[in-house]
């Protein structure tokens, strides 16, 4: 991983009990479309810090909300019991508000394309999570295999929660398949979490329309627990897909 700017210390306040309050910014990560910084928290964890000021304008998402969408994707994953999104929290640092996510040490030796063979059963939680959150950008490169453990993680979850159906994903290998029983059970956990305050949190951080859309998608999956088919009236894949 290359670092492109000079090292400097930046205090960042975070609402995460697991992440420290102060991070040292090491540099910027290359090949990111938005400002993305490698940093370290006060207890030594490597984190990825994305200040909202560095988000490129989008025609269908307010760039000021991408951090909240990243955080809410983590929280929905936790509510489902999946644990497939690295810990992600809102921060307010010297570079302004944004998100911070625990850094994953990626296995560079394993070709991630192998995950799509079958596809790999480890991808079911991502497929379900992406349907619920309406992920418009599930690229192959957004699925990381952790070095040493083989655990699969999902990153770059900012283009989510739109109230209009926009699912674009590389996981159409699950299309028309019935959800495994464990996935259906997880949807029940999410239903409880929405009733227990998560619906209000989505409304607060985004909007009531987007919270309603999450509830609608969840209800649809519970009624018919089958992964959807790719749409024929619009592009079903992100671009580029890798």
Would 231 be classed as within a structural domain? Answer: no
Would 204 be classed as within a structural domain? Answer: yes
Would 233 be classed as within a structural domain? Answer: no
- What's the DSSP call for residue 40? E
Q: What gap in Å lies between CA 22 and CA 9, rounded to an integer?
A: 8
> What does the pLDDT read at residue 23?
60
CA atoms within 13 Å, Cβ hemisphere of 28:
12
Which range marks the domain in which residue 112 is found? Answer: 8-223
Any alpha helices (H) in 81-152, and if so which ranges? Answer: 124-133
CB burial of residue 202 (10 Å; 0-12, 13-18, 19+): buried
> What does the pLDDT read at residue 170?
97
Would 236 be classed as within a structural domain? Answer: no
Number of domains in the chain: 1
CA-angle at 51, arms to 130 and 33, nearest 5°: 60
Torsion angle of C-alpha atoms 30, 35, 38, 43, degrees rounded to 10? -170
> What does the pLDDT read at residue 19?
58
pTM of the model: 0.89
Each of the 242 residues of the chain gets a pLDDT tens digit; together they read 333 332 222 233 334 446 554 367 787 887 777 888 888 877 788 889 898 887 878 888 988 899 999 999 999 999 999 999 999 998 876 677 889 899 999 999 998 899 999 899 999 999 999 999 999 999 999 999 999 999 999 999 999 999 999 999 999 999 999 999 999 999 999 999 999 999 999 999 999 999 999 999 999 999 999 999 999 999 999 988 88
> What does the pLDDT read at residue 140?
95
Q: What gap in Å lies between CA 148 and CA 157, rounded to an integer?
A: 24
Would 48 be classed as within a structural domain? Answer: yes
> What does the pLDDT read at residue 196?
97
Question: What φ, ψ does residue 101 adopt, rounded to 5°?
Answer: -135, 140
- Written as six digits, the tokens of 190 are 């999410």
Q: What b-and-e string marks burial along 117-156, b requiring 16 or more CB atoms within 10 Å of the CB? A: eebbeebbbbbbbbbbbbbbbbbbebbbbeeeeeebbbbb
Would 185 be classed as within a structural domain? Answer: yes
> What does the pLDDT read at residue 12?
31
């Amino acid at each position: 991983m290359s670092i492109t700017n000079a090292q400097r210390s930046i205090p960042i306040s975070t609402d995460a009990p697991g992440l420290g309050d102060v991070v040292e910014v090491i540099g910027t990560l290359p090949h990111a479309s938005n400002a993305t910084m490698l940093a370290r928290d006060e207890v030594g964890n490597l984190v990825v810090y994305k200040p909202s000021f560095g988000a490129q304008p989008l025609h269908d998402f307010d760039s000021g909300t991408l951090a909240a969408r990243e955080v809410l994707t983590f929280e929905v994953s936790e509510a489902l019991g999946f644990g497939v999104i690295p810990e992600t929290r809102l921060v307010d640092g010297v570079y302004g508000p944004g998100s911070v996510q625990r850094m994953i040490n990626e296995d560079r030796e394993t070709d991630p394309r192998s995950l799509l063979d079958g596809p790999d059963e480890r991808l079911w939680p991502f497929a379900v999570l992406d349907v619920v959150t309406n992920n418009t950008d599930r690229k192959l490169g957004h699925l990381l295999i952790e070095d040493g453990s083989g655990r699969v993680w999902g990153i770059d979850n900012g283009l989510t929660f739109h109230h209009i159906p926009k699912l674009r994903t590389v996981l159409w290998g699950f299309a028309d398949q019935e959800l495994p029983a464990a996935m259906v059970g997880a949807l029940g956990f999410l239903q409880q979490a929405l009733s227990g305050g998560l619906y209000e949190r989505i409304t607060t951080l985004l909007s009531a329309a987007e919270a309603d859309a999450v509830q609608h998608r969840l209800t649809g999956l519970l009624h018919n627990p089958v992964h959807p088919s790719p749409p024929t009236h619009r592009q079903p894949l992100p671009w580029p897909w890798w």
